[in-house]
């Protein structure tokens, strides 16, 4: 028995019958442990949520075959619809990349290639790709 709980139990023992007292003590201790465990579990869940929402860089890397024809080739310019520099994705903030992809998909931002490509991506794809370009990408700057 933990020493911090010793004192109240002894004083209760002198007032109430021993058997009943022991049971109720054990019961309330169990409840306390359960509450502590629940609180810890909720704290862990809260910590885990942002990591999940941020996307998986390794899954993202596998999806870059769609992007690597333009992004990630040093000095690359697309010729369609006009000669165009391809903006850099590597090291960009994940939120920025996701926001840009969503804007292409919704039509808020328009570029023929990017609108078509973003239209084929799910939010999960966007999160994964953004996580990869933000954290693990090591290719050419664009
Ligand atoms: C056909 C060439 C091409 C392909 C393939 C391509 N992009 Fe792009 N991307 C571009 C061009 C060109 C722009 C600049 C368009 C503009 O000015 O809005 C661009 C812009 C972007 C932007 C906005 C960047 C910024 O700084 O504003 C993001 C994010 C992006 N692409 C992500 C991707 C991802 C992820 C893929 C693969 C799923 C991909 N792109 C595939 C050509 C391409």
Taking the centre of ligand 1 as the mean of its atom positions, its distance from the CA of residue 96, in whole angstroms, is 12
pLDDT greater than 60 at residue 79: yes
- Start and end residues for every CATH 1.10.760.10 domain found in the chain: 57-135
Q: How confident is the model over 47-68, as pLDDT tens digits?
A: 444 444 589 999 999 999 999 8
Higher pLDDT, 141 or 91: 91
Which of 66, 71, 91, 125 maximizes ligand 1 atoms within 8 Å of its Cβ, making it the mutation to test the pocket? Answer: 71
Name residues contacting ligand 1 (CB within 6 A). 66-67, 69-71, 78, 84, 86-87, 89, 97, 100-101, 109, 111, 113-114, 117, 129
Q: For residue 32, what are the CA distances in angstroms to 2, 20, 85, 104?
A: 13, 18, 62, 52
Higher pLDDT, 73 or 24: 73
Which CATH class name applies to 57-135? mainly alpha
Taking the centre of ligand 1 as the mean of its atom positions, its distance from the CA of residue 52, in whole angstroms, is 24
Using pLDDT thresholds of 50, 70 and 90, give the confidence band for residue 107: very high
**What pLDDT does residue 83 have?**
73
Global pTM reads 0.68
**What pLDDT does residue 51 have?**
42
- The mean of the pLDDT values for the chain is 75
Higher pLDDT, 122 or 50: 122
């Amino acid at each position: 028995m933990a020493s911090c709980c010793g004192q109240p139990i002894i004083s209760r023992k002198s007032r109430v019958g021993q058997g009943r007292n022991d049971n109720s003590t054990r019961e309330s201790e169990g409840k306390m442990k359960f509450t502590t465990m629940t609180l810890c579990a909720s704290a862990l869940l809260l910590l885990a949520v942002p990591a999940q929402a941020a996307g998986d860089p390794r899954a993202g890397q596998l999806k870059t075959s769609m992007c690597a024809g333009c992004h990630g080739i040093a000095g690359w310019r697309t010729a369609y619809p006009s000669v165009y520099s391809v903006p850099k994705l590597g090291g960009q903030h994940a939120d920025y990349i996701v926001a840009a992809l969503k804007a292409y998909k919704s039509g808020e931002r328009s570029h023929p290639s990017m609108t078509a490509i973003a239209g084929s991506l799910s939010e999960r794809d966007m999160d994964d790709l953004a996580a990869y370009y933000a954290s693990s990408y090591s290719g050419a700057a664009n």
